[in-house]
Amino acid sequence: MAQLVRIAASLEVHLSRWEKLGAVHGNLVIPESHVLAVEYVEDLWIHLRGVRAPGTGFPGKIMLGTTRFRGGKDFCAVYKHRPGYIVNLVDEEFQRLLITTSCVDLE
């Protein structure tokens, strides 16, 4: 399962080998100055938007990779209707990160 970790002045998303394969993407490193807000939500699935491309998805079960919508794209590592974090970004490839995770170090 993906991990959100704050290291120095950045927020990192660490993906497992299988998540990298399914997401067609590697780990992400976001400068802290590009993070607008981090929000914890009980059901991350309902916050998905757009169409998956590229990545792996199965409705209601898994969404790994990029979702594209009019005006931008999000990076997702979302599993079922579990809780997780929405990270709003500025000046980045993605507008948001949606990450289901059991390991978080945001201190």
Which residues lie below 8 Å from residue 8, measured CB to CB, with a gap of 6+? Answer: none
pLDDT tens figures, 21-37: 999 999 999 999 999 99
pLDDT tens figures, 62-72: 999 999 999 89
Q: What is the pTM of this model?
A: 0.90
pLDDT-derived band at 106 (thresholds 50, 70, 90) equals: low
Q: How many CB atoms sit inside 10 A of residue 89's CB?
A: 21
